[in-house]
A and B are shown apart, each in its own frame.
Chain A
Amino acid sequence: MQTAAPFSFERFTFPDLKSLLAKASPLRSGDVLAGLAAASDEERVAARFALADVPLKRFLSEVLVAYEDDDVTRMIIDDHDMDAFAPVSSLTVGDFRNWLLSDEATPEVLKNLAPGLTPEMVAAVSKLMRNQDLISVAKKCHVVTAFRNTVGLPGHLSVRLQPNHPTDDPAGVAASILDGLMHGSGDAVIGINPATDSPEAMIDLLKLIDEVRERIDIPTQSCVLSHVTTAIDVMARNAPVDLVFQSIAGTQKANESFGITQSMLAEAEDAAKGLKRGTIGNNVMYFETGQGAALSADAHEGIDQQTVETRAYAVARKYSPLLVNTVVGFIGPEYLFDGKQITRAGLEDHFCGKLLGVPMGCDVCYTNHAEADQDDMDNLLTLLGVAGCNFVIGVPGADDIMLNYQSTSFHDAMYLRSVLGLKPAPEFAAWLSKMDILDQYGRTRPQLDGQAAQNLLAWSGAA
């Protein structure tokens, strides 16, 4: 679109907004792999100085991928709300950081601002922020959604119960569901990654979760994380679909590599809403994202890893999701090398999503070839709890035996709720109390020999 003078600071120049954003980004292996990273620490900070002087308005006139070539760009530009943008429209990126940290930026002001922000503005300001800035501003962004319970209320932390099994064995899945419920997990969703992406496999698993949910009246929602087209197919066959899942990314090309279009997402949302299965709300979509996804599909369009990730949240926002999950360390060390890079990325993603009005949760995770371990996960988990993250993942013993990576466990969620005084979703907490899983102090202390536990075991044995 517009050509302007290059950006510069001291002896460094940056030809366009795209390269300025890339060079200003905190170091990570994915940007090095893509050849986009700053060549030195000095160049990186010089880029931040130059970025701090860029007016926010500039992001509306200089797009990162051409409007006519990319439907994510079109969505960002076409859906931008000028009225909502007004309070910050005269600010530079540097001013914007100051303003976000100021007392003027209250939760209500930030909520109203969200439709006026583009992902590029949000990614830009995140690059000027320390970890503590990312935490303190995110904590002011409350994004509350609902289906059969309420997710994202301040002072609450929900958990996706992830009972994966390498062959989708019903008894194996059921055993993990039971274990998770007894540890107070499952209020974000009971969500299974199926080993096989077929309509039949999806229907079988959906019925399995639906049966336990109805039998013991659990106020939560289910999801089988098949492709959106599979979900559309099974909804047409009256399968009990609560939430529709899809992986999404920040460019049209990357979304095409996932086999999706915007119209598919719209169709799926309409179909799931039409089922009217939500009791207290109708947020029916569950999206997953993660830095590096676009680059790994060779579809990043020369945009740095963190900025293109943030563009995925603009896609998510359009379909009013219940949950958006950044799977932050799954992709491997060629994108996020170590615990430090994973931690930074998790905080960035959570901040950027929340500022855009997206209900962010995080799969705090790593693979065995990354330079990370459980201590790194404890650190990021704790930081995200402080930042007000909507939900985290609960996998038995943190070991996903189907996807072969380490996430957070049911115990980790208990720890986090306990040290920060965070509660499960209110409707779910009431159920946990009824089941003798929460004690009188709100701690997770299941009575394993009680009637409630026996009822759960009886169901599990039958599965």
Chain B
Amino acid sequence: MTKKTPSGLDPWNALRVHTDARIGLGRVGDGLPTERLLEFQMAHARARDSVHMPFDANSVRAKLGVLDYPILDVHSAAPDRATYLQRPDLGRLLDDASFDSLAQHKQNYDVAFILADGLSARATQDHGAETLSMILDQLGDSWSVAPITLATQSRVGLGDEIGSALGAKMTVMLIGERPGLSSADSLGAYLTWGPKRGQSNADRNCVSNIRPAGLTPKKAAEKIAYLMIEARKLGLSGVALKDNSSSTLLIDG
């Protein structure tokens, strides 16, 4: 940083190597220098856009085209984003049409994969298909896989409805996490054994912060596949299934 700043940033600038926190910003009077102010606004704008961007299920469908699985679109009972944000209960229920369409595919599957918008459609659009295909690569051929569902206005709990409607023993939901100021594209994976309505979050395993600058999709896929294999072996998920990844629930289930 050779740029002259009003308050003399240099003595503090060295400290920025220790943390991503916004330290050493300099100041103008009591306020922030213009560039710092705008940097913050840009980070917030990206995070908000991620929350409000409509889920483009077709773009995800196109990316999934190379995989040889049927793909179904489902929608929660929250009709729009404003309702979704205020009524998490509706985001955990399927609308009637979605329930009917899933019921037509009901069989005895090992796993149902769900790609869901959650609180960041951008995360799912950018990293969902890639992460899923890497998981499938890890799993091998011994799994019967349900049609892949693309879920709009979805909370984590919607996976329970989807999994039980399809008749899957296990669900793996890849869902956009609540965006932080510097992580607008972070994907979370939730693994649930024996999905049914009203499942507690303590019965799930979570792998979070999946994004190129966080836990890379490749590393995440290894972790998720490992958990899936263990869950199938033990016939359970949740706290009893050892998970070495961070289990911070960034999504309000």
Contacts and interface: CB of A to CB of B under 8 A. Distances in A.
A334 B182 contact: no
Contacts of B167: none
Interface string A23-47: 0000001001100000000000000
Interface in A373-431: 373-374, 395-399, 401, 404-406, 409, 411, 414-415, 417-418
Contact of A457 (B11, B21, B89, B178): B11
Contact of B18 (A174, A399, A406, A444): A174
Contacts of A191: none
A171 B87 CA distance: 41
Given A334-B87, A398-B40, A406 B181 contact: yes
B22 A399 contact: yes
Interface string B120-164: 000000000000000000000000000000000000000000000
B89 A368 contact: no
A17 B145 CA distance: 54
A165 B31 contact: no
Contact of A404 (B12, B15, B29, B250): B250
Main secondary structure of the interface of B (DSSP, over half): loop
A406 B47 CA distance: 12
Interface string B27-52: 10111100010001101100110110
Contacts of A454: 11
Nearest to A184: B30
A449 interface: yes
Contact of A368 (B10, B22, B41, B178): B178
Interface of A: 29, 32-33, 163-166, 169, 171-176, 178-179, 182-183, 296, 332-334, 337, 367-369, 373-374, 395-399, 401, 404-406, 409, 411, 414-415, 417-418, 443-444, 448-449, 453-454, 457, 460
Contacts of B22: 396-399, 409
A197 to B, nearest CB: 12
B12 A33 contact: no
A364 B43 CA distance: 19
Q: How extensive is the interface on chain B, given as a class?
A: 35 or more
A333 B180 contact: no
Contacts of B183: 404
A175 B21 contact: yes
A324 B171 CA distance: 42
Given A404-B250, A449-B8, 17 more contacts: A163-B21, A171-B18, A174-B18, A178-B12, A182-B12, A334-B252, A368-B179, A368-B184, A369-B51, A399-B21, A399-B22, A401-B20, A401-B180, A404-B181, A404-B183, A448-B7, A448-B11
B173 to A, nearest CB: 18
A320 B181 CA distance: 36
A414 B30 contact: yes
B36 A368 contact: no
B244 interface: no
Contacts of B225: none
Contact of A397 (B8, B18, B21): B21
18 contacts: A164-B21, A178-B23, A183-B27, A333-B86, A334-B87, A368-B47, A369-B51, A369-B85, A397-B22, A398-B22, A399-B22, A399-B43, A404-B178, A411-B27, A411-B30, A411-B32, A417-B30, A453-B11
